[in-house]
Amino acid sequence: MGSISENCLGWAARDTSGVLSPYNFIRRDTGPDDVSLTITHCGICYADVAWAKNIPRNTIYPVVPGHEIVGIVREVGSNVRRFKVGDHVGVGPYVNSCKTCEHCKIREEVHCDAETTHTFNSVDEDGTITRGGYSSYIVVQEGYVFKIPDNYSLISAAPLLCAGITVYAPMMRHKMNEPGKSLGVIGLGGLGHLAVKFGKAFGLHVTVFSTSNSKKDEALNLLGADKFIISSDMQQMESSAKSLDFIIDTASGDHPFDPYMALLKPSGVLVLVGFPSEVKFNPMSLLAGSKVISGSVAGGTKDMQEMLDFCAANNIHPEVEVIPIQYVNVALERMENRDVKYRFVIDIANSLK
């Protein structure tokens, strides 16, 4: 192979300021098991800000962020059977794993014993540093590429590849797809708004908890939630005691947990997908009522493909603001300030030149 190995144009952060600017680099040739795709769009995830600014303390500069990648196949390796040139495809937060551990074997690669290779800022098996979707094209092993149904928009698919899977995977794991059950969603950002949409598609009664009344109208009318509660309103909170089967907590700001645990029915489950600085609750909040607190991050390739197919079949679309790459630094800052409804998607195809 190796017929298309040229300069890849991307945007990278050079230092902890996290400011991105144009950056040229070389991607590997398309190997026998690889799919090379022209990137049309890339969603913006909080991970992009975190590694651009070296918040996890392991950034390798220059870093090209982006792990909600969609595009069109431009070349496939000789062993590739699932994809052909012209197919619509997506790539999520990881691009490789060991393939042989018990987790990889059941397509839960996110739990790979050897750790997955992240889509950016990770060391690939050839020793190179992975670079993400804020770029013109990417080369990824076939097993970590997803088919986007032809009738589903590439723009809509982008946020599903991280925000979507992060809430969909635990919803499936905890059987939240049983119609008639009740779900609480804490926080209404990129993850929260998709948890609401999935909940409604599964036939759940959905309550949104927010610190701000400004989101009430959109929660109920745009996203279709059944109920909206201001989390600081103790009266409203107390009147909902023991009413929920499930809670998905997407809030990354620090918040108390006991008031939410009290809203769960016996054997109820709270899934944490946000990233507060600490999690604290009274042991009785867990013991009384045999409640469950569970964490989750991303999901395996099996769940990922199922989710994309489910969203296409049920006409579920994230709410997005599409931007040119030249606006990306403003967008990252706005996202940090929670000023986006509800996910930014970069139009790579029309703006990255």
Model pLDDT for residues 174-217, shown as the tens digit of each residue: 999 999 999 999 999 999 999 999 999 999 999 999 998 999 99
* Domain housing 136: 7-161+319-347
The reply to whether 310 falls in a domain is no
Is residue 12 within 8 Å of residue 20, measured between CB atoms? yes
Instruction: Give the total residue count for the chain.
Output: 353
Exposed e or buried b per residue across 142-175, where buried means at least 16 C-beta atoms within 10 angstroms of its C-beta: bbbbbebeeebbbbbbbbbbbbbbbbbbbbbebe
Q: Are residues 107 and 197 in the same domain?
A: no
Query: Are 105 and 144 in the same domain?
Result: yes
One-letter amino acid identity for 12? Answer: A
Question: According to the model, what pLDDT value does residue 2 have?
Answer: 43
Pair 46, 137 in one domain: yes
* Same domain, yes or no: 64 and 109: yes
Regarding whether 137 and 239 lie in a shared domain, the answer is no
At 47, list the tokens: 């991970």
Domain assignment present for residue 236? The answer is yes
Q: What 3-state DSSP class applies to 270?
A: strand
Contact 62, 13 (CB under 8 A): yes
Mean pLDDT by 10 residues, the chain (353 residues): 66 98 95 98 97 97 98 98 98 97 97 96 93 98 98 98 98 97 97 98 98 94 97 96 98 94 98 95 97 97 98 98 98 95 97 95
| Cβ proximity of 325 and 350 under 8 Å | no
* Residue 352 located in a structural domain: no
Question: Would you give the DSSP letter of residue 222?
Answer: I
How do beta strands 227-230 and 205-210 pair? parallel
Residue 311 falls inside a structural domain: no
Predicted model pTM: 0.96
Asked if residue 252 lies in contact with residue 231, where contact means CB atoms within 8 angstroms, the answer is: no
- Distance set, CA 198 to CA 105, 223, 252, 344 (Å): 27, 10, 20, 19
CA angle 19, 21, 23 (to 5 degrees): 130
113 and 248 housed in the same domain: no
Q: Is residue 93 part of a domain?
A: yes
Residue type, 68: E
Torsion of CA 334, 90, 192, 152, to 10 degrees: 110
- Residues 254, 6: Cα–Cα separation, whole Å: 45
In-domain check, residue 306: no
User: What type of residue is 270?
Assistant: L
Question: Residue 292: which H helix or E strand, with range?
Answer: strand 292-295
Tell me how far the alpha carbon of residue 238 is from its chain's centroid: 32
Say if residue 89 is in the same domain as residue 155: yes
Strand order in the sheet with 264-272: 227-230, 205-210, 182-186, 244-249, 264-272, 292-295
Half-sphere exposure of 321 (CA within 13 A, CB side): 18
Same domain, yes or no, for 11 and 156? Answer: yes
Predicted pLDDT of residue 6: 57
Q: How many domains does the chain have?
A: 2
The half-sphere exposure of 181 on its side-chain side, counting CA atoms within 13 A, is: 21
The single-letter code of the amino acid at 284 is M
The encoded tokens of residue 238 equal 């107390």
Closest of 96, 119, 120 to residue 301, by C-alpha: 96
> Three-state DSSP class for 243?
coil
Q: Do 130 and 225 fall into the same domain?
A: no
Question: Which of these three, 259, 280, 295, is where a domain ends?
Answer: 295
Instruction: Tell me what pLDDT residue 212 has.
Output: 87
12 and 139 part of one domain:
yes
